[in-house]
Structure 1
Amino acid sequence: MTTKKPGTARGDIFVAPFSAEQMVGQTGALINGNAGDPVWFRPLPSTNLQNADFKVQTYYDQGRRRGQPVLTWWQGTLALPPAYMNLPAGAPEPGGCYYLYDTHYRLLKTVFAHHGYYPDEHEFTLTRRGTALFLASRPVPMDLTPYGGPKNGAILNTEVQEVDLATGKLLYSWNALDHIDPADSEEPASNASSSDGVWDAFHVNSIDEGPDDQLLLSFRNMWAVYDIAKRSGKVRWQLGGKKSDFTFGPNADFYWQHDARFRPGNRISMFDDGCCELPDGAPEQQSHGLILDLDFHNRRATAAKTYYHKPPLYSPTQGNTQALPNGNEFIGWGQSPYYSEYASAGNTQGNGSRNLLYDVRLPGSDISYRAFRNEWTGMPYYPPKAAARATGRGNVVYASWNGSTQTRAWQVLAGPDAGSLSVVVEHARRSGFETAVRTGNSGPYFQVRALDAAGKVLRASHVVRLSR
């Protein structure tokens, strides 16, 4: 944690660490507190498995007017060279899915894609209709010679799919290849030679629903954002790319962008990666959060607010810009191992520390596709954990409860046998993910109880025996 100032929004941090290089620790879904301590971690058994788009959403079950908070994420394997070179780097391998977990960390739903497409890590969004909108992709065989690629090649196509969460039934789909010309891609088709002939012409990486039955789609490799009429499937307007319907004011253009979102008042936000592998003549720019004003009368986009980092960051891939309830902006820096929070006004290039309230660097080369700040109350269905160890200065009892957000203190019980325990430490303040409590009691049997802010017992651990 390199910066921590007053004024940050409420909530914890949601990341899904992985690495294309040497992983520090384990991949999985991770909630961190503001001080950097883990709140909940669901590790994966292999670093070849990854999670992505890990966040809090609201699940509107059928028949319920009020939704329930849930955790959602994608799980699967990404094509990351040198292990996987059958698809463009970062594309999902077959076999992935999406998960919904409740506040007790129990699995509610598993969601799969249709039409032979693979669930894509880039987007999984719940709607008030009790449905899920997500991206799914698969290679479609195609002669790529008209685009400068191999004859027996394929294009990595993307579908927007919407499924009913109660039944799993596909309700809607929109196919990129049916509506977008791959010739407009900024990704050379010749690069397919490094991914078994598959060309990543589109690389769709976000969906957002608008107020007028519209979808906002970010096509990274087109350098463009498209507004789609959901019912007809037609492109209403295009921002950026080779056929932009808008011109751009100073600092408003973008490259390789991610996470395009509608904002109030004819604004949209995104994460502008802005760097790396640019064609001749395109100036490289620092990665940053970007909010644009769209003037539909004059068809002009202007930069309303920007969010830069100090030191400057250049993220070739990934990233997001999240609007927080208090007006702040939370930035996940994608392939750069940081996440940050800024006061609403933001800053400009060269002033990356201005309005910076919170900044964290992940270890080593670990990164997270997106990072979010969300409010979450977790009440695990499983009990707390306890361990007891003899030391030269008495015994130490260790207490933890993975995922509990209500535990504020611990009570320690001890006794000569598992059936004869009494309280020996009334109130030990929780000091992090694992709290160590010293006691002069010889046990050798111990138990811990989790206490909430009012001192009420939430739940007790199993009884454990002293180890030496």
Structure 2
Amino acid sequence: MTDAKVSRRNVLLGVGGAVVCTAAGAGAGFVIADKDAAPPAAAAQPAPAKYRSRPDLRALPDVTITTPANATAPGLIFLTPASGTGLWGPLLVDEKGSPVWFRKVPDPATVAIDFKVQRYRNKPVLTWWEGTIGGTGGQGVGQGEFVIADTSYRELSRVRAAGSEQADQHDFVITPDDTALFWVYDPVPYDLAALGGPADGVLHDGVLQEVDIRTGRRLFEWRARDHVGLDESYAPLPAGESAHLPYDYFHANSVGLDADGNLLVSARHTWTAYKIDRRTGEVIWRIGGRKSDLRVDEKSAFSWQHDFRRRRDGSYSVFDNGAGVTKEREQSRGLIFTVDESARTVTFGKEFLHPTKISAPTQGNFRELADGGSFIGWGQSPWFTEYAPDGTVRLDGHLPLDNQSYRAYKAEWAGAPLDQPALGLHVDGGNVVVSASWNGSTKVAKWRARAGGQPRALTESVEADRTGFETMLTLPGTPEYVVAEALDSGGKVLGTSAAIPVRV
């Protein structure tokens, strides 16, 4: 764990491994291919440059908006696209699907997961997970670390698990005390004979850690096998040649804080949401599964779920996949219900469905927006949807259909990168076409191209409104040098590119 203004990995560059996305197994559905494996023939030819100013982003996936924004909550959309292109990293797009910021994960990490806005030291930050996933029979178990970056996209910290383990990707929560909550999947020797498995088997224990971000000191640790029996699981034992792979009986995939400060946990393979005493580690109650402590009405029953949360009005929400190893529902949904701890009951509140009846066997999330609306990332299905409080769809879109994003979020974000705007030039019909972009800047409203015979004597200029990640401007003739200036809505210069010579 590092906690420095500029860390050893402040500049994140590198090439990730080849990736194959699959629905196999009951976990997150990611399988990472061998980095040294030969790429498929179709990938042998490089794709044409998508952005002349940033040719390194040629494989950045397109985001399609199918239902345009209508009375939406303010904010940008946070994704972690996963496809076979090898270009993995946190991706921020606007409501039109245009990229705002992207950063490729560095070696040796191959995957970025769970990109979102949080607060650290009372300031807004970006957080995401970097690492590798797989190696346990397609169960979606991660080994990596969490990144915290400031509004200039500089790393503030890398948070790692305390001890010898590596952090799992499924969730990362910064608490108001500047501590971090996250999971570790710990394979431990375990006698599985009573379940029909090997006596010398291996169990994946779900380990919840809370660490101090600044020091890395472990403050709290909770182990699922100390509190949750294997008889609660719906996951089948590994069998045949896979019998000695770790049995992922619990599969923790979210952690959060309840209003009283205790912990809220989702375990996909037990179909259960747990409330856990943050001081003692004892289970306060279970909702759902084989040993529910509360009576759950029929419409509130969920299975293979993700992302259990408390909402501002006191209700609870979960992304009910309804599908995994088995299919229990025809379509996945965002589910809201109320809990009466005195009466020990769970009562249905509302559900949010996709118009195309999406079933997502893996991944996904369901979050409340600041204005009372809701936002769903459909996990294995590459869609994301924003809903009004009454359930009306007010924005809908998707990554390419061969992609997926473990979660998708919407939140307000103001980014001010420290690097210069990027500039690309080409001559067309005797004129210079200027392509300008600035990865991560959220305040650019216009671009100005300036040109002349010397870098310090730029007498010609043209302006154009920003039209997406990259904006094109045309300068008449073929001047010697060109710069691009990024302007805010009031015309103030936010940043200037280097002066680039025009080569005919």
The answer to whether TM tops 0.5 is yes
- Are residue 342 (structure 1) and residue 390 (structure 2) matched? no
Per-residue CA distance 1:99-131 (angstroms, 9 max, x = gap)? 000000111101100132221111111111121
Code of the residue aligned with 2:412 in structure 1: it is E
Structure 1 residue aligned with 2:82: 18
Code of the residue aligned with 1:209 in structure 2: it is L
User: Where in structure 2 are the equivalents of 1:129-278 lying within 5 Å?
Assistant: 129-191=177-239, 193-194=241-242, 196-278=244-326
Code of the residue aligned with 1:292 in structure 2: it is F
Q: How far apart, CA to CA, are the structure 2 residues paired with 1:342 and 1:47?
A: 38
Code of the residue aligned with 2:372 in structure 1: it is G
Which of these residues, 132, 137, 161, is aligned with residue 77 of structure 1?
Answer: 132
Structure 2 residue aligned with 1:125: 173
Q: How far apart, CA to CA, are the structure 1 residues paired with 2:296 and 2:179?
A: 36
Structure 1 residue aligned with 2:70: 6
- Are residue 450 (structure 1) and residue 495 (structure 2) matched? no
Q: How far apart, CA to CA, are the structure 2 residues paired with 1:31 and 1:196?
A: 40
Q: How far apart, CA to CA, are the structure 1 residues paired with 2:495 and 2:296?
A: 58
Contact 1:414–1:441 under 8 Å retained in 2: no
Structure 2 residue aligned with 1:365: 402
Q: How far apart, CA to CA, are the structure 2 residues paired with 1:397 and 1:148?
A: 67
Can you give the 5+ residue segments of structure 2 that lack an aligned partner in the other structure?
A: 1-64
Segment drifting more, 333-342 vs 194-203 = 194-203
Structure 1 residue aligned with 2:369: 324
Q: How far apart, CA to CA, are the structure 2 residues paired with 1:111 and 1:176?
A: 22
Q: How far has the Cα of 1:139 moved from its partner?
A: 0.9
Segment drifting more, 147-156 vs 446-455 = 147-156
Q: How far has the Cα of 1:438 moved from its partner?
A: 0.5
Q: How far apart, CA to CA, are the structure 2 residues paired with 1:194 and 1:337?
A: 30
Which of these residues, 120, 137, 142, is aligned with residue 92 of structure 1?
Answer: 142
Structure 1 residue aligned with 2:30: none
Q: How far apart, CA to CA, are the structure 2 residues paired with 1:389 and 1:100?
A: 38
Contact 1:192–1:198 under 8 Å retained in 2: no
SS at match of 2:117: strand
User: Where in structure 2 are the equivalents of 1:422-441 lying within 5 Å?
Assistant: 422-425=459-462, 427-441=463-477
Q: How far has the Cα of 1:345 moved from its partner?
A: 2.1
Q: How far apart, CA to CA, are the structure 2 residues paired with 1:322 and 1:211?
A: 16
Structure 1 residue aligned with 2:337: 292
Relative to 1, partners in 2 of residues 1:314 and 1:152: Cα closer, same or farther, differing over 3 Å?
Answer: same
Q: How far apart, CA to CA, are the structure 2 residues paired with 1:190 and 1:97?
A: 27
Q: How far apart, CA to CA, are the structure 2 residues paired with 1:306 and 1:411?
A: 48
Can you give the 5+ residue segments of structure 1 that lack an aligned partner in the other structure?
A: 61-66, 347-354
Contact 1:87–1:196 under 8 Å retained in 2: no
Q: How far has the Cα of 1:148 moved from its partner?
A: 2.2
Runs of 4+ in 1 over 6 A off after TM superposition: none
Q: How much identity, in percent, do the aligned residues show?
A: 40
SS at match of 2:269: helix
More strand by share: 1
Structure 1 residue aligned with 2:393: 356
Q: How far apart, CA to CA, are the structure 1 residues paired with 2:170 and 2:373?
A: 23
Q: How far has the Cα of 1:30 moved from its partner?
A: 0.1
Contact 1:148–1:188 under 8 Å retained in 2: no
User: Where in structure 2 are the equivalents of 1:412-431 lying within 5 Å?
Assistant: 412-425=449-462, 427-431=463-467
Q: How far apart, CA to CA, are the structure 2 residues paired with 1:146 and 1:57?
A: 44
Q: How far has the Cα of 1:395 moved from its partner?
A: 1.0
Q: How far has the Cα of 1:47 moved from its partner?
A: 11
Code of the residue aligned with 1:224 in structure 2: it is T
Code of the residue aligned with 2:72 in structure 1: it is T
Relative to 1, partners in 2 of residues 1:265 and 1:102: Cα closer, same or farther, differing over 3 Å?
Answer: closer
Structure 2 residue aligned with 1:314: 359
Structure 1 residue aligned with 2:50: none
Code of the residue aligned with 1:314 in structure 2: it is S
Relative to 1, partners in 2 of residues 1:395 and 1:428: Cα closer, same or farther, differing over 3 Å?
Answer: same
Q: How far has the Cα of 1:190 moved from its partner?
A: 3.4
Q: How far apart, CA to CA, are the structure 2 residues paired with 1:381 and 1:150?
A: 56
- Are residue 383 (structure 1) and residue 420 (structure 2) matched? yes
Structure 2 residue aligned with 1:352: none
Q: How far apart, CA to CA, are the structure 1 residues paired with 2:220 and 2:501?
A: 56
Relative to 1, partners in 2 of residues 1:343 and 1:424: Cα closer, same or farther, differing over 3 Å?
Answer: same
The two structures, once aligned, show a CA RMSD in angstroms of 1.8
Structure 2 residue aligned with 1:64: none
Segment drifting more, 404-413 vs 160-169 = 160-169
Contact 1:150–1:197 under 8 Å retained in 2: no
Per-residue CA distance 1:403-440 (angstroms, 9 max, x = gap)? 00001111111122323223422x32111111110010
Q: How far apart, CA to CA, are the structure 2 residues paired with 1:321 and 1:5?
A: 19
Q: How far has the Cα of 1:467 moved from its partner?
A: 3.4
Q: How far has the Cα of 1:266 moved from its partner?
A: 4.3
What is the number of residues matched between the two proteins? 440
Structure 2 residue aligned with 1:350: none
